[in-house]
Amino acid sequence: MMKKTFTSVNEDLSPYAKLGVTTGLPLTKVLVGSDEKKFRGGFPLGYNGAIGTDYNISSNVKVFGEIYLNR
C-alpha cells in the first residue's frame, strides 16, 4: 500500500492518504456440515484506500484517526 503524507500548517498535525490494490486466488473452500465444497472461477480484484491524520501529543506519543475503504 502506498502512503502519501501532506504538509500541514501545524507541525503536530500530519494528514495522509493511502491507496492500494487487493488480489487473491480464485479458489474458495467452504465447510458445510461435514462436506467440503470447493468453488473456482473468476478473478478476485479490488482496491482499498484510507485517509487520516496523525497528531503528535509529545515527542514520544502520537495518536491517529483513519477512515478506511475496502472494496
Q: In this predicted model, what pLDDT tens digit does every residue of 44-55 receive, in sequence order? A: 899 999 999 999
Model pLDDT for residues 2-16, shown as the tens digit of each residue = 666 666 667 888 889
Q: Write down the mean pLDDT value for the chain.
A: 85
Report the pLDDT value the prediction gives residue 41, as an integer from 0 to 100: 77
Q: Report if pTM > 0.75.
A: no
Domain enclosing residue 43, as ranges:
2-70
Report the pLDDT value the prediction gives residue 10, as an integer from 0 to 100: 77
Burial 20-56 (b: 16+ CB within 10 A, else e): eeeeeeeeeeeeeeeeeeeeeeeeeeeeeebeeebee
How many domains does the structure of the chain reveal? Answer: 1
Report the pLDDT value the prediction gives residue 63, as an integer from 0 to 100: 95
